[in-house]
Amino acid sequence: MSANTSAPMTGGQTGQAGPAGVGAGSVIHDLGYRRYDGLRLGRAQIVRALAWHSFRAAFGFGRGAKAKIVPLVALVALCLPAIVNAFAMSRGNARIVDYDTYTPTFRDLLMTVFVAVQAPELVSRDLRSRVLPLYFARPIKTIDYPLAKYLAFTGACLVMMELPLLLLYGGSIANVHGGAAVWGQTRALIPGLLVGLMWAVVLAAISLFLASLTGRRAFATGAVAIFFLLTFTLAEILLQVESNLNQVGPAVPVQTGPGGQIVKHVLPPAPDVAEKVSGLFSPFTLFDGVRMWLGGAADPADGVANPGAFGVVYALVLIAILALCLYGLAARYRKARLA
């Protein structure tokens, strides 16, 4: 913004690009815009960069300190049972936490908090600040944006699920002796890690899809939280009601759930159809059903009954939910709308 009008130009022109064309042999050199002719990284690099940036955002990095509180508190809280277990084992007590079930309801609630608060950070923020055109004005296909976000968030949920398991493993290894025992621990760890993978893949899909429906973060958090908690409580109630109709075993006050102690009755070996169907109503119970179908042990603290052969239906429902959410997520961005 200079008002300096003094610089005299030959020929009275102030143009920049191209020769002035006044006299033969005179030329004004174009020193302005230069083209970039170097190496251009392709789609894969863009997707990778976006995914890495989103992965960091899932834990609040790249924003202020307050954004890190909830995800890191959730991560630490989720790791606590592993630490407590290591402590207990070091004192010679039996392990209190298993690899594949970990601490059921506690983990359900913490993962609900994590995905409800962080999924909007990944997708709703971009919708609100209308930066999608900036992303799509790059040489990527429209599927790349949701793909990158999904990969990032699955990775984040994977960290949330597997880190405590690895800590549990580390704590157990430190307390057992002998190669055979270590190998036993390792063999027990693998199914736990696979369960964690299942959780991460599905939870990320559902929460990202729900969050991408709105640009307001608070609204998205509310919607995701309501979805998971509503379905979870619904399934739990149905399971308890159905299981109570069977033989009632000794009452075992086992664990705390939201709002009060849930007194569970030990489940009889053969649950009826209504009980099996009850487990279909919530992603968390679906996870457990699939886990048990694939050979996992029933955890008495958990309300889900072993579905037996019916577990195939659990797996199919889970896959259907996953497919629907991924399709919805991709469709959401197909037209690159602004909001």
Q: How many CB atoms lie within 10 A of CB 199?
A: 23
* Residues in contact with another protein, shown as a per-residue x/- string from 39 to 68 under the rule CB under 8 A: ---------------------------xx-
Binding status of residue 14 toward another protein by CB under 8 A: no
**Which residue type does 146 have?**
P
Binding status of residue 233 toward another protein by CB under 8 A: yes
Identify the residue among 222, 300, 308, 328 touching another protein (CB under 8 A): 222
Identify the residue among 84, 240, 277, 315 touching another protein (CB under 8 A): 240
Any idea which residue has 């797996």 for tokens? Answer: 315
85/96 Cα distance (integer angstroms): 6
C-beta closer to another protein: residue 102 or 293 = 102
Binding status of residue 229 toward another protein by CB under 8 A: yes
C-beta closer to another protein: residue 95 or 265 = 265
Number of H helices, E strands in the chain: 10, 2
Q: How far is the CB of 30 from another protein (least distance, A)?
A: 24
* Residues in contact with another protein, shown as a per-residue x/- string from 94 to 123 under the rule CB under 8 A: -----------xx--xx-xx--xx------
Any idea which residue has 């102690």 for tokens? Answer: 261
Q: How far is the CB of 339 from another protein (least distance, A)?
A: 11
Binding status of residue 6 toward another protein by CB under 8 A: yes
Binding status of residue 25 toward another protein by CB under 8 A: no
Q: How far is the CB of 70 from another protein (least distance, A)?
A: 5
Identify the residue among 230, 252, 270, 312 touching another protein (CB under 8 A): 230
63/269 Cα distance (integer angstroms): 51
Please say whether the beta carbons of 212 and 123 come within 8 A: yes
Q: How many CB atoms lie within 10 A of CB 289?
A: 28
**Which residue type does 178 have?**
G
C-beta closer to another protein: residue 185 or 282 = 282
- Tokens standing for residue 320: 């259907």
221/120 Cα distance (integer angstroms): 7
Letter string b/e over residues 49-74, b meaning 16 or more CB atoms within 10 A of that residue's CB: ebbeebbebbbbeeeeeebeebbeeb
Which three-class secondary structure state does DSSP give residue 249?
coil
Binding status of residue 206 toward another protein by CB under 8 A: no
C-beta closer to another protein: residue 16 or 261 = 261
C-beta closer to another protein: residue 45 or 256 = 256
**CA neighbor of 313 nearest in space, from 269, 271, 279:** 279
Can you state the angle between helices 43-58 and 104-128, rounded to 10 degrees?
A: 120
Residues 252-271 that bind another protein (CB under 8 A): 256-262
Q: How far is the CB of 97 from another protein (least distance, A)?
A: 15
Element (H, E) at 127: helix 104-128
Point out which residues bind another protein (CB under 8 A). 1-6, 8, 12, 66-67, 69-70, 73-74, 77, 105-106, 109-110, 112-113, 116-117, 214, 216-219, 221-223, 225-226, 229-230, 233-234, 236-237, 240-241, 244-245, 256-262
